[in-house]
Structure 1
Amino acid sequence: MTLFVGLGNPGTKYEETRHNIGFKVIDRLVEDLAARNISKNAFQGELYRVANTLFLKPTTFMNLSGRSVETVKHFFKIDLGEIIVIHDDIDLPFGAVRFKKGGGHGGHNGLRSLDAHIGKEYIRVRVGVGKPEHKSQVSDYVLHDFSEEEQQSLETLIGHVAAACKALLSEELNEVKSKYSLKSIEGLEG
C-alpha cells in the first residue's frame, strides 16, 4: 500500500496559497486516477483510494498534519518507506522539483509535525515556491496566493509533479529523480 500525502491548509481562504501546492497535486492525482473518496472523521483529512494507493489531504492545518498521517498509516498498516509527501519548499526557486528520502524539516511546520508523529524516513517531493527577501516574511509569503506570473505556469507544474508521483508507483526513486527533477519552471517551459 502506498500513501501520497499533500500538505496544505483546509478552507477556501488558503486554497490558492503557496503552502497548498501539495493539496493541488493530490487533487490532480485523484482526478487523473478517478480515486474514490473513503474519508472518515477519524482520519482527520480527505482520503481517496484507487487499488493499493491512497491519497491524503490532512484537514488538521499544516502544523498538525502528522496526526492525520499517523492515523492513516496505522489504520492501513503502511510502511514508512511507502509514504510520499508532496510539499512546498521555499529553499527552491519557483517550479523547481526535487525528491529525497528522509532529512530535516528545514523549518517547514508540516514536515516538523510528520517527523514527530511518524519519523523521518518517508519520501519527499519538494516543490519550489521561491522565497521572500527577508526571513521574517516567510509565514506571510507561504500563506499568500501565487503571483499572477506564477499562476500562468502553475497547472503545468502541478501536472509535472503529478506525473512524477505516478512514476513513483512503478519506478525506483533514483529513476524518478533523474527524469522529473527540475531546477526551475523554465525546465518545463523551455
Structure 2
Amino acid sequence: MTDGSSSAGNAGTGPWLVVGLGNPGTEYAGNRHNVGFMVADLLAERMGGTFKAHKAGRAQVVEGRLGAPGPASRRVVIAKPMSFMNLSGGPVAALRDFYKVPVERVVVVHDELDIDYGQLRLKVGGGDNGHNGLKSITKSFGPGYCRVRFGIGRPPGRMQVADFVLKDFSAAERKELAYEVDRAADAVECLIVDGLERAQSTYNS
C-alpha cells in the first residue's frame, strides 16, 4: 500500500479490519498500553454498534460502516483481541481469514513509545519496535499492515518500559486523552475513506 489514495479508492466491497490493541480486563482499561482499545471503543460508538464475541477467535467485534453515508463509506470490522497483548496475532489472523481481508486493509491502532504523548504517526509495514502486540501480529501474517501509532512518550527516569505501559495515563494526560483518542479515531476513518497519503498529511504530527 504505497499509494494510500488508490488503495482506498479500489477498496471494493470487502471490509477493512481495524484492530485496537490492549489487554482484556477492567484492571488494564486505563493503561497506556490499552489506548488501541480506547480508539476501537470510540469507532464502535460512531458506528452505533456494540462489541460481541466472535466465533472465529478470541476477539470482540463490531461490524458497520465508516465515512459519510453513501458510496464513499466503507465496510469495517472493528476488533479487540481478548488474548493478552503478546498473543494478539492469533485472534487477528483468525479474523483476517474469516472476513478474507487482504493485509493492506488491516489497520492496527497501538501505543508508541518513541512518539511524544498524543502525537500520531500513520505508516505501513516496518519493525515492531519492541511492541509485543505488533510482534505477534507480524509473526502471524507479515508486516504489511497499516499502523496508527498513538504516542505515549518514554518512561520517566529509570522506570522500566513494562511498568510504564501498564500504568494508567497521568492526571495531566487524562485532561487531553478524550481529544487525542477522538483525533486518532478520525485518523483511522481518514485512512480508510481517503487513503494513506491524505491521512498522513492530515494527522502525522
Alignment partners' CA distance in 1, 2:53 and 2:179: 28
Greater fraction helix:
1
List per-residue Cα deviations over 1:1-43 (Å, max 9, x = no partner).
1000000000001000000000000000000111354532432
Give the TM-score normalised by the residue count of structure 2: 0.85
Do the aligned residues in 2 keep the contact of 1:70 with 1:117 (CA within 8 Å)? yes
Do the aligned residues in 1 keep the contact of 2:56 with 2:98 (CA within 8 Å)? no
The 5 Å alignment of 1:1-190 reads 1-51=15-65, 52-133=75-156, 137-182=160-205
Q: Secondary structure at the match of 2:45?
A: helix
Give the TM-score normalised by the residue count of structure 1: 0.92
Please report how far the alpha carbon of residue 164 of structure 1 lies from its aligned counterpart in structure 2 after TM superposition: 1.0
Do the aligned residues in 1 keep the contact of 2:59 with 2:91 (CA within 8 Å)? yes
Give the equivalent residue in structure 2 for 1:185: none
List per-residue Cα deviations over 1:95-134 (Å, max 9, x = no partner).
1100000000000000000000011000000000011145
What is the Cα-based RMSD across aligned positions, in Å? 1.3
Alignment partners' CA distance in 1, 2:105 and 2:195: 12
Alignment partners' CA distance in 1, 2:154 and 2:161: 7
Alignment partners' CA distance in 2, 1:134 and 1:42: 43
Do the aligned residues in 1 keep the contact of 2:37 with 2:80 (CA within 8 Å)? yes
Alignment partners' CA distance in 1, 2:38 and 2:52: 18
User: Structure 1: which 5+ residue stretches go unaligned?
Assistant: 183-190
Change (3 A) 1:117 1:135: farther
For this pair of structures, how many residues does the alignment match?
A: 182
Identity within the alignment, %: 39
Change (3 A) 1:135 1:98: farther
Please report how far the alpha carbon of residue 150 of structure 1 lies from its aligned counterpart in structure 2 after TM superposition: 0.2
Alignment partners' CA distance in 2, 1:129 and 1:9: 16
List per-residue Cα deviations over 1:37-73 (Å, max 9, x = no partner).
4532432011110042100000101000000000000
Alignment partners' CA distance in 2, 1:37 and 1:26: 10
Please report how far the alpha carbon of residue 167 of structure 1 lies from its aligned counterpart in structure 2 after TM superposition: 1.2
User: Structure 2: which 5+ residue stretches go unaligned?
Assistant: 1-14, 66-74
